[in-house]
Amino acid sequence: MKRLTELSLGILLILLLVGGVFIAGCTTTQPSQPTTTVVTTPPTVVAGEKPKLLIATTTSLYDTGLLNELEKKYESQNNVDLQITSQGSGKAIEIAKKGDADVLLVHSPAAELTFMKDGYGINRRSFASNYYLIVGPADDPAGIRNMTPEAAFTTLRQKGMNNTPGVIFVSRGDQSGTHSAEQKIWSNAKFNYTANVSKSGNWYVEAGKGMGETLQMASEKGAYTFTDEGTYLSYKSNLKLVPIISQGESLLNIYSVMTVYNAKQPVEKIKMANDFTNFLLSNQTQTDLANFGVEKYGKALFTPMSVFVPTASAGWVGDHSTLATDLKPPAAAVNATATK
């Protein structure tokens, strides 16, 4: 009995030893997982905003759609953001005088020459021209067709003040380049604009609006108005107005560009403005001007200086062949802004 017990204990001991070895063989230590380093691509650095070039211009350039085309082409070729504000030439000039524009693009030669003389601008360049028109109802109730502009204005005033049916004249009335050209014709016709024309009766309406809106107002009233040819052609399909007078020396309309100058203007901005002026004078842009409007209207809205240089009063047609390079006005110019 004792021997059996000892044998049983021995067998049990052997079984325990074998089981321990088996368990130990089945148990493994898992190796540690390698550390994964996530490589991230640094974010793309966003370049700063394009430098802005502020252009003060006239509605008769903007309303034609020309500036939209020029803006697209210029920005595609240059790292510049053009910011364009359109006013009458008089208001555009005031904006430039205050230093709130870098480029002045207008069609008011007399005012431009004063602007330059007073030292507010440099590098004045004339780049295109067209003509003003006197447009009105097709039946021409005032009977002015084929008159000179001065004779036409004289007749319009006379018949308007006599309450002739259908004789109404809508003026820009906003001191724009177009309004200044209209006043010049009144002066040529021997009328004092302030005393004899403005507010002289119901026949004379001062819109105080841009060229496009003035044309629309005249059309609605069945009235006459004085307009640049480019804006008239671009609005023609929506107007009940036809050209009544399109010839006469006083109808010449010249467009010029100037770099705005003041004592605080950074030289980098002046160079940018000069570059834009030179873009307008470039062979490609002059060619584009010669073609602008031809497909849609059957004729160009503007005549570039490279095609035709009109004869005008002294100084009205500026330099049109020399690149803009000046960085400050000549010593003889009085820079009024420097003392403010």
The string of pLDDT tens digits covering residues 54-107 is 999 998 888 899 999 999 999 999 999 999 999 989 999 999 999 999 999 999
Q: Based on the domain organization, do 125 and 137 belong to the same domain?
A: no
User: What integer pLDDT is reported at residue 40 of this predicted model?
Assistant: 33
Q: Reply yes or no on whether the pLDDT at 300 is more than 80.
A: yes
User: What integer pLDDT is reported at residue 332 of this predicted model?
Assistant: 60
Q: Would 92 be classed as within a structural domain?
A: yes
Q: Would 38 be classed as within a structural domain?
A: no
- Give the list of residues 6+ apart from residue 311 with CB closer than 8 angstroms, or none: none
User: What integer pLDDT is reported at residue 338 of this predicted model?
Assistant: 52
Q: Based on the domain organization, do 140 and 245 belong to the same domain?
A: yes
Tell me which residue range forms the domain holding 124: 52-130+254-339
Q: Based on the domain organization, do 285 and 318 belong to the same domain?
A: yes
Q: Pick the last residue of a domain from 216, 251, 286.
A: 251
User: What integer pLDDT is reported at residue 25 of this predicted model?
Assistant: 40
User: What integer pLDDT is reported at residue 274 of this predicted model?
Assistant: 98
Q: Based on the domain organization, do 264 and 314 belong to the same domain?
A: yes
Q: Based on the domain organization, do 239 and 259 belong to the same domain?
A: no
Q: Based on the domain organization, do 76 and 177 belong to the same domain?
A: no
Stronger pLDDT, 140 or 19, i.e. the higher one:
140
Q: Would 19 be classed as within a structural domain?
A: no
Q: Tell me the residue ranges of DSSP E strands in the chain.
A: 52-58, 81-87, 103-106, 121-136, 169-171, 204-206, 224-228, 242-245, 252-260, 303-304
> Please, which pLDDT band fits residue 29 given cuts at 50, 70 and 90?
very low
Q: Based on the domain organization, do 314 and 236 belong to the same domain?
A: no
User: What integer pLDDT is reported at residue 47 of this predicted model?
Assistant: 55
Q: Tell me the residue ranges of DSSP E strands in 219-318.
A: 224-228, 242-245, 252-260, 303-304
> Please, which pLDDT band fits residue 207 given cuts at 50, 70 and 90?
very high
Q: Would 47 be classed as within a structural domain?
A: no
Q: Would 14 be classed as within a structural domain?
A: no
Which amino acid is present at 100? D
Mean pLDDT of 235-259: 96
Q: Based on the domain organization, do 151 and 244 belong to the same domain?
A: yes
Mean pLDDT of 28-41: 36
**What is each CA distance from 39 to 19, 42, 79, 313, 319, in whole angstroms?**
49, 9, 34, 72, 61
Least confident of 23-37, 114-128, 168-182: 23-37
Q: Would 39 be classed as within a structural domain?
A: no
Q: Based on the domain organization, do 334 and 227 belong to the same domain?
A: no
> Please, which pLDDT band fits residue 330 given cuts at 50, 70 and 90?
confident
pTM: 0.81
d(CA 250, CA 67): 25
Q: What is the mean pLDDT of the chain?
A: 87
Number of structural domains (the chain) is: 2
Q: Pick the last residue of a domain from 251, 278, 298.
A: 251
Q: Would 176 be classed as within a structural domain?
A: yes
CB atoms closer than 10 angstroms to residue 140: 16
> Please, which pLDDT band fits residue 179 given cuts at 50, 70 and 90?
very high
User: What integer pLDDT is reported at residue 62 of this predicted model?
Assistant: 87
> Please, which pLDDT band fits residue 264 given cuts at 50, 70 and 90?
confident
Q: Pick the last residue of a domain from 207, 228, 251.
A: 251
- CATH number for the domain spanning 244: value is 3.40.190.10
**What is each CA distance from 339 to 66, 122, 322, 326, in whole angstroms?**
37, 18, 31, 21
Q: Based on the domain organization, do 211 and 62 belong to the same domain?
A: no
Q: Is 296 helix (H, G, I), strand (E, B) or coil?
A: helix
Mean pLDDT of 154-158: 98
Q: Reply yes or no on whether the pLDDT at 5 is more than 50.
A: no
Q: Reply yes or no on whether the pLDDT at 43 is more than 80.
A: no
Q: Reply yes or no on whether the pLDDT at 13 is more than 50.
A: no
Q: Based on the domain organization, do 267 and 330 belong to the same domain?
A: yes
Phi then psi for residue 17, to 5 deg, are -65, -45
Query: Do 148 and 252 form a contact (C-beta atoms < 8 A)?
Result: no
Q: Would 233 be classed as within a structural domain?
A: yes
Mean pLDDT of 137-153: 97
Q: Is 134 helix (H, G, I), strand (E, B) or coil?
A: strand
User: What integer pLDDT is reported at residue 331 of this predicted model?
Assistant: 74
Q: Based on the domain organization, do 234 and 274 belong to the same domain?
A: no
